[in-house]
Amino acid sequence: MTRTNHAVQFNLEPVEDEKDTYFIANRASGLYLEPSADGNSIVQQLFTGADRQKWVFHATDPARFMAPPAKGANAVQALAGKKFWDFSGTYPAMRSGELQVWAGKPSSGAADRIIEIVGVDVPWHSISPRHLPRHVLAAPADGRLQTTLNRKTNEQLWGFEYAGSPNTYYIRNSQTNQVVDLNADRGNTDGPTQVFEFIYADGPNKGKLFIGE
């Protein structure tokens, strides 16, 4: 049974008559967050209700501030049809493969449905299938997305753009400036066939949607 770490959980307590303003209490300690004396860090103290314990939440543009998908093992699910990314061929006898989608859920026995996100040069990332760790997803000139040996070329670099909710992305190629689409003849961000959810593929959060960290 997975134990919940209350030390990393916080309660937001609205400040009366102050819009978007909260006291923030740690669930484990019951103490409240406030700036340290030098203002360089955040500490926990007993509740005082002073202004230094009030925190204002400002709305931001998620397209600019949402984190890319989590590093580590991810499964990628298409919003349209709910199928998962998969690579052609029969695992484990695979040496390359074109990107496709498949109804089967990812598992430790199907490494061709699990990918790793690797930061290269912000905002660009590599997308590496677990069954071929030296290879990455690329968008060659013929338009067929496939794995190729990682040379960090522009056709192998991808950006992740907000697609309407915290765990969904448009995935844009650096060289072509087009996004991944379930339909081969489309390349602009205008439909659910271009929206993908990232899901943890292993570890304590397995099966949960990734939320930007």
Tell me which of 142 and 134 has the higher pLDDT.
Answer: 134
Q: How many domains does the chain have?
A: 2
Residue 1 resides in a domain: no
State the average pLDDT over residues 150-167. Answer: 85
Range in 20-24, 101-105, 209-213 with the lowest mean pLDDT:
209-213
Final residue before a domain boundary, out of 59, 86, 102: 59
Pairing of strands 168-173, 115-121: unpaired
Is 156 buried (19+), middle (13-18) or exposed (0-12) by CB count in 10 A?
Answer: buried
User: Would you tell me how many other CB atoms lie within 10 Å of the CB of residue 138?
Assistant: 24
Query: Residue 13's domain spans which residues?
Result: 6-59
Judged against a pLDDT cut of 80, whether residue 28 lies above it is answered with yes
pLDDT given for residue 123 in this prediction: 81
76 and 179 co-located in one domain = yes
Is 8 buried (19+), middle (13-18) or exposed (0-12) by CB count in 10 A?
Answer: exposed
38 and 140 co-located in one domain = no
The contacts of residue 136 (CB under 8 Å, 6+ apart) are 118, 126, 127, 128, 147, 148, 150, 156
CATH number for 46: 2.80.10.50
- Residue given tokens 């602009």 in the structure block: 188
Final residue before a domain boundary, out of 38, 59, 80: 59
98 and 33 co-located in one domain = no
129 and 174 co-located in one domain = yes
pLDDT given for residue 43 in this prediction: 95
Q: How confident is the model at residue 209 (pLDDT cuts 50, 70, 90)?
A: very low
pLDDT given for residue 6 in this prediction: 80
Q: What are phi and psi of 44, to 5 degrees?
A: -110, 135
Q: Please state, rounded to an integer, the average pLDDT across all residues of the chain.
A: 80
Final residue before a domain boundary, out of 59, 81, 98: 59
39 and 88 co-located in one domain = no
pLDDT given for residue 1 in this prediction: 44
pLDDT tens, position by position, 39-74: 889 999 999 999 999 999 876 665 555 666 666 678
